[in-house]
Structure 1
């Protein structure tokens, strides 16, 4: 009888700990927890991702939130940004660095490009060949860092957002 009580108590304790574990659904907290790396290097980095599935679009409610709320302002709301090209700091991810460059015209983002991202392995190339254009398009449409992450490219998406926010800060958006 005593062993049964101990087993049940241990199981309940394990479940409580499991369900209280913080998840990555809170993107703002996850970005704040990652160390930012300075610099604006470009090029490519070797590395591999652990994902073996294929990307299927932007994630809905299972892995992304709708924005950071951290200093992002809409470019259409009277910003004082000067036209030009701004390169964000290089964000270090698990599989390599990510650097984003934005072009501002008329106080709004007219173009966004990832100039540096992991592509050293076939898996990196496959994932980022899909993810980077989606992220670039989302930034131009949103005009700020309030974008959806790409399912299957979580680490690249986090690094992209971190570098993007740096570029937006430099642009004054």
Structure 2
């Protein structure tokens, strides 16, 4: 009798834990702002997905937004600030952030990709391990920006 009661309580506990577990597909989470190459923040989705170029006469630099690269986890879009032919800052107005796992991965991966972009001054950068899908989308969008700049 004691074994039956323990078995029953164990089964009820397991079922309760199973139904109480929130999966990573529970829905969108808040966007995480990301630091860019010069300290600006990016992270909220851009209102338009059309590539644009905005010259800034005060600093002699221009900001160019790349094409949106669609990935299996969501869109990725890169924005560059270019001054005298050099990449001075990188922003990521769109990136996958539909759940906590996406936000966690991109909070780690995007600063690395941004840093490598500013250092390499090209799209020839390494992908970030564990963020392959985002890295691929980032590089595709980055290349579209560089094609616009040149």
TM range (shorter): 0.5 to 0.7
Of structures 1 and 2, the one scoring higher in RCO (CA 8 A, sep 6+) is 1
Q: Which has the larger radius of gyration?
A: 2
Partner of 2:45: 43
Deviations 1:112-156 (A, max 9, x none): 111100011010010000001110110000000010100000000
Q: Distance in 2 between matches of 1:104 and 1:164?
A: 13
Partner of 2:6: none
Deviation >2 Å, runs of 4+: none
SS of structure 1 residue aligned to 2:89 = strand
Larger proportion of strand: 2
Unaligned runs of 5+ in 2: 1-43, 47-59
- Displacement after TM superposition at 1:164 (Å): 0.2
Partner of 2:83: 105
- Displacement after TM superposition at 1:83 (Å): 3.4
Partner of 2:41: none
The aligned runs of 1:27-38 (5 Å cut-off) are none
Q: Distance in 2 between matches of 1:83 and 1:43?
A: 23
Does 1:128 find its partner at 2:130?
no
How many residue pairs get matched?
Answer: 94
Unaligned runs of 5+ in 1: 1-41, 45-81
Q: TM-score, normalised by structure 2?
A: 0.60
Q: Distance in 2 between matches of 1:168 and 1:83?
A: 15
